[in-house]
């Protein structure tokens, strides 16, 4: 099974809808350990992304992802803009020669995004960041690709791995970002960036994973 441009655009739009629906929740999470603006900022950015898509972002996968990335960089405040922007820019670079994506391509794309975010944020798994959801999803996709799983099954498993990673941030002490200023007081709170990253993986399973 492979998916094309319009399947992936549908995923981006679904992520925008999920961010809008969870804007207050994401901001509530961020109010405990951050600047209380993650949901607001991400919603502003994804609203701008949808406007770009409505205006036409070409018909190339790489162009669309790069448009999403640049839009997020320019419209999302705080750390979220550069990090999510980097994620999508790396998505775009990794599929520059692709018109459709199979599971192996998807795994490569997410791996490129994870590497970009880790480098940009100078973070790793366990730092209580979006990587705590993205890295398990990346590893799950790689394993599914090696096992010959179907794309829908692989995306569903990756979303579950991201959810587990997100929940695993609750007891962690933050080592990066605004939350790290709280030290031990950051423990006991779910990371908002990991939560929005789980939404990204969940919507992939719900939209792209059900295509075909």
The 3-state secondary structure of the chain, one letter per residue: CCEEHHHHHHHHHHHHHHHHHCHHHHHHHHHHHCCCCHHHHHHHHHHHHHHHHHHCCCCCHHHHHHHHHHHHHHHCCCCHHHHHHHHHHHHHHHCCCCCEECHHHHHHHHHHHHHHHHHHHCCCCCCCCCHHHHHHHHHHHHHHHHHCCCHHHHHHHHHHHHHHHHHCCCCCCCCCCHHHHHHHHHCCCCCHHHHHHHHHHHHHHHCHHHCC
Identify which has the larger pLDDT, 185 or 17: 17
Round to whole Å and give the CA distance between 194 and 132.
Answer: 6
Query: All domains of the chain, ordered by start, with CATH?
Result: 3-210 (1.25.40.340)
User: What's the mean pLDDT in 58-76?
Assistant: 92
**Residue 212: pLDDT band with limits 50, 70, 90:** very low
**Given the DSSP bridges, would you call strands 3-4 and 100-101 parallel, antiparallel or unpaired?**
antiparallel
Round to whole Å and give the CA distance between 91 and 109.
Answer: 5
Round to whole Å and give the CA distance between 33 and 182.
Answer: 7
User: What's the angle, vertex CA 203, arms to CA 17 and CA 84, rounded to 5?
Assistant: 75
How confident is the model at residue 188, as a pLDDT? 78
37-51, 142-156, 167-181: range with lowest mean pLDDT: 167-181
Identify which has the larger pLDDT, 21 or 58: 21
Round to whole Å and give the CA distance between 36 and 65.
Answer: 27
Query: pTM for this structure?
Result: 0.93
- Residue 21, phi then psi, degrees to nearest 5: -65, -30
Q: What is the pLDDT of residues 144-161, one digit of tens each?
A: 999 999 999 999 999 999
Round to whole Å and give the CA distance between 182 and 140.
Answer: 31
Round to whole Å and give the CA distance between 8 and 14.
Answer: 10
Percent of the chain with pLDDT over 70: 92
By CB neighbour count within 10 A (0-12 exposed, 13-18 middle, 19+ buried), where does 126 fall?
Answer: middle
Q: What is the pLDDT of residues 97-139, one digit of tens each?
A: 899 999 999 999 999 999 999 999 899 898 889 999 999 999 9
């Amino acid at each position: 099974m492979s998916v094309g441009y319009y399947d992936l655009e549908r995923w981006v739009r679904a992520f925008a809808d999920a961010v809008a629906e969870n804007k207050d929740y994401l901001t509530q999470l961020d109010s405990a350990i951050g600047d209380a603006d993650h949901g607001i900022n991400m919603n502003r950015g994804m609203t701008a992304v949808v406007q770009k898509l409505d205006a036409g972002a070409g018909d190339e996968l790489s162009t669309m992802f790069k448009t999403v990335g640049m839009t997020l960089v320019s419209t999302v405040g705080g750390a979220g803009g550069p990090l999510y922007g980097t994620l999508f820019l790396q998505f775009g670079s990794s599929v520059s020669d692709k018109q459709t994506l199979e599971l192996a391509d998807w795994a490569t794309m997410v791996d490129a995004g994870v590497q970009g975010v880790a480098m940009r944020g100078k973070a790793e798994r366990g730092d209580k960041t979006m990587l705590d959801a993205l890295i398990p999803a990346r590893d799950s996709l790689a394993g599914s690709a090696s096992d010959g799983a179907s794309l829908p099954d692989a995306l569903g498993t990756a979303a579950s791995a991201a959810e587990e990673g997100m929940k695993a941030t609750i007891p962690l002490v933050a080592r990066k970002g605004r939350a790290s200023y709280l030290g031990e007081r950051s423990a006991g709170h779910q990371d908002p960036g990991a939560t929005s990253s789980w939404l990204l993986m969940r919507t992939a399973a719900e939209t792209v994973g059900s295509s075909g």
